[in-house]
């Protein structure tokens, strides 16, 4: 009889025997360990999103304090972190299982101190060249990479019936970092809340007042230190999650890796791209009417992050594919509202219709973020267990382990590709009219809806999920 004494599962330990589908093990030991890892993972992931999205709110104030950049340049500063975030997510997907997710979570959190310090010092000098700010934006993008390793890791800890809710909580509350930085940073820059060590003020010419723009970067440094230490001392590495790249790369031959990546580009790519672009959209289209981006922009990502948990929970109840389809229909309808609410010609547009349309788009994207990540482990588990059916307990155990490894890798890889939405959506807003870009998004959602229905939702679908 295998032992699972509690001391084997103490904080900081590497765990060899992990059987969440064994109800006795789960109730006696597994749930406590899984929950501890989840509740440390969440703030670590949240801070990663803070660093990734800090530029979406920083750019709103740059010209007010003396930086002289064009609207296009500001959109590009917002978009650049999406390139590095998506690219490093690909690396993080495969690195975490190689070195151990506890160690990698601590490392990937502590290194984010660098870009926050660099940004804080650079913002105090309006002579800082554009190329340097663009380079800082690129380095900040590394914060977005943490999502890939974090989501792949948490899925291993929970049984199938709870994966949707667990991934929804980790991803959803982690996504709240977008709202947190867009809400908190504008508040802390209005006063010398960090004292003299943070540096002196800049003058906001538009409001004729002093602000401390660097506070929006420096504030997060001590929090990053604390959370990195929590990850190191409280989380666990799972041997079942360990896998060299030679084993993980099998996902590139799996059709459902590419199909689910396509769907997640539609959901998460929209969420993160809209979060990056919305502050400047409000500033450029409605600030003259008295609507401030810093007052409203954080609300959309906040709703989307909370709805991610709802999407995971609802998917556990009625199936992920159904919720994913609802997500794409809802996002398309919401963007139609946004398009007709934008200013056009002599028409001033309707801010409240525009804003409510975007809030709905965020809500539906959040649902889809939760549902797609519930679909992935179900698809791969069912596929491998079908192939091992009738081959005995050992073959079924091996199939289950293989499915968990592949599902984790697909989760990370799909999140990496979807993260490029952070870059492409603001870049499209910079390169073409907002209306044209939004119609393109709606057309893309139609393709996602067709893929989801054909492969996952229709009667007789290849991989119902």
Q: Note the pLDDT tens digit of each residue in 407-448.
A: 888 988 898 899 888 888 988 988 899 999 999 999 999 999
pLDDT confidence of residue 441: 96
Q: How confident is residue 254, by pLDDT bands cut at 50, 70 and 90?
A: very high
| pLDDT tens by residue, 418-429 | 988 888 898 898
Query: Could you give the count of Cα atoms lying within 13 Å of 170 in the half-sphere of its Cβ?
Result: 32
Q: Which residues contact 259 (CB under 8 A, 6 or more apart)?
A: 451, 455
Distances, alpha carbon 110 to alpha carbons 103, 114, 179, 241, in Å? 11, 8, 21, 22
Average pLDDT, stretch 63-73? 88
Is residue 104 helix, strand or coil?
helix
Q: How confident is the model at residue 264 (pLDDT cuts 50, 70, 90)?
A: very high
pLDDT at 201: 83
At residue 141 the predicted structure's pLDDT band, cuts being 50, 70 and 90, is very high
**Residue 7 pLDDT:** 44
Q: Tell me how far apart the alpha carbons of residues 68 and 349 are, in angstroms, rounded to a whole number.
A: 28
CA angle 15, 313, 332 (to 5 degrees): 125
Tell me, rounded to whole angstroms, the distance of Cα 319 from its chain centroid: 22
For 211, the token pair is 């602000």
- Res 422: pLDDT: 84
Report the pLDDT value the prediction gives residue 299, as an integer from 0 to 100. 94
List beta partners, residue 15. 238
pLDDT band at 202 (very low <50, low <70, confident <90, very high): confident
Provide the 3-class DSSP secondary structure of residue 129: coil
Q: How confident is the model at residue 135 (pLDDT cuts 50, 70, 90)?
A: very high
Question: Which is it for strands 202-204 and 237-238: parallel, antiparallel or unpaired?
Answer: unpaired
Q: Which two tokens stand for residue 119?
A: 């940004």
- Say how far apart CA 339 and CA 103 lie, in whole Å: 46
Q: Which helix (H) or strand (E) holds 204?
A: strand 202-204
pLDDT at residue 207 in the model: 82
CA distance 412 to 50: 19
Instruction: Band the pLDDT of 5: cuts 50, 70, 90.
Output: very low
349-403: pLDDT as tens digits: 999 999 999 999 999 999 999 999 889 989 998 998 888 888 888 888 888 888 8
pLDDT-derived band at 4 (thresholds 50, 70, 90) equals very low
Which helix (H) or strand (E) covers residue 423, if one does? helix 421-431
Does position 199 have pLDDT exceeding 70, yes or no?
Answer: yes
**Dihedral angle over CA of 284, 285, 290, 295, nearest 10:** -70
Mean residue pLDDT across the chain: 89
Dihedral through CA 125, CA 130, CA 135, CA 139, nearest 10?
60
Q: Where are the alpha helices (DSSP H) in 189-298?
A: 215-218, 221-234, 245-248, 255-286, 293-296
pLDDT value, residue 233: 96
- Is 421 in contact with 441 (CB distance < 8 Å)? no
CA dist 78 and 98 (Å) reads 32
pLDDT digit string, tens, across residues 293-351: 888 989 999 999 889 889 988 998 899 999 999 999 999 999 999 999 999 877 899 99
Q: How many residues does the chain have?
A: 465
Write down the pLDDT at residue 232.
96
Q: For domain 18-457, give the CATH superfamily.
A: MFS general substrate transporter like domains (1.20.1250.20)
User: Is the pLDDT at 6 greater than 70, yes or no?
Assistant: no
| Per-residue model confidence (pLDDT) at position 2 | 45
Token pair 């998004």 in the structure block, residue: 441
What are the start-end ranges of the H helices in 287-392? 293-296, 299-318, 320-341, 351-387
pLDDT at 94: 82
Q: Look up the pTM and report it.
A: 0.81
């Amino acid at each position: 009889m295998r032992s699972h004494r509690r001391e084997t599962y103490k904080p900081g330990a590497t765990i060899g025997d992990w059987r969440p589908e064994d109800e006795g093990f789960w109730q006696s030991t597994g749930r406590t360990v899984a929950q501890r890892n989840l509740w440390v993972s969440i703030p670590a992931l949240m801070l990663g999103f803070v660093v990734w999205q800090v530029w979406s709110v920083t750019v709103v104030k740059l010209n007010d304090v003396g930086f002289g950049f064009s609207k296009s340049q500001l959109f590009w500063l917002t978009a650049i972190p999406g390139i590095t975030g998506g690219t490093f997510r690909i690396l993080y997907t495969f690195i975490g299982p190689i070195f151990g997710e506890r160690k990698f979570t601590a490392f990937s959190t502590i290194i984010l101190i660098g870009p926050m310090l660099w940004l804080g010092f650079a913002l105090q000098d309006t002579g800082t060249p554009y190329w340097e700010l663009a380079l800082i934006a690129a380095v900040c993008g590394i914060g977005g990479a943490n999502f890939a390793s974090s989501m792949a890791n948490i899925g291993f800890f929970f049984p199938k019936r709870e994966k949707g809710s667990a991934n929804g909580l980790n991803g959803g509350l982690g996504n709240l970092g977008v709202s947190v930085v867009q809400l908190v940073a504008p508040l802390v820059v209005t006063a010398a809340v960090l004292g003299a060590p943070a540096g002196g003020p800049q003058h906001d010419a538009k409001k004729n007042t002093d602000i401390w723009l660097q506070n929006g970067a420096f504030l997060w440094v001590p929090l990053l230190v604390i959370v990195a230490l929590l990850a190191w001392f409280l989380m666990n590495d799972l041997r079942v999650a360990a896998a060299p790249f030679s084993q993980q790369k099998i996902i590139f031959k799996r059709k459902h890796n590419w199909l689910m990546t396509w769907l997640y580009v539609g959901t998460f790519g929209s969420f993160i791209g809209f979060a990056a672009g919305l502050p400047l959209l409000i500033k450029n289209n409605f600030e003259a009417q008295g609507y401030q981006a810093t007052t409203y922009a954080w609300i959309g990502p906040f709703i989307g992050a909370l709805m991610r948990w709802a999407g995971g929970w609802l998917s556990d109840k009625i199936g992920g594919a159904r919720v994913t389809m609802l997500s794409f229909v809802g996002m398309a309808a919401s963007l139609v509202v946004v398009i007709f609410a934008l200013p056009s010609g002599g028409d001033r547009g309707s801010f409240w219709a525009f804003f409510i349309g975007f809030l709905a788009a965020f809500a539906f994207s959040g649902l889809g973020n939760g549902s797609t990540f519930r679909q992935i482990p179900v698809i791969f588990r069912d596929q491998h267990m079908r192939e091992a059916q009738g081959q005995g307990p050992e073959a079924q155990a091996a199939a289950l382990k293989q499915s968990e490894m592949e599902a984790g890798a697909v989760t990370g890889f799909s999140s990496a590709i979807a993260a490029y939405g952070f870059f492409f959506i603001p870049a499209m807003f910079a390169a073409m009219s907002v209306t044209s870009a939004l119609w393109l998004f709606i057309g893309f959602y139609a393709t996602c809806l067709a893929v989801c229905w054909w492969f996952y939702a229709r009667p007789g679908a290849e991989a119902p999920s």
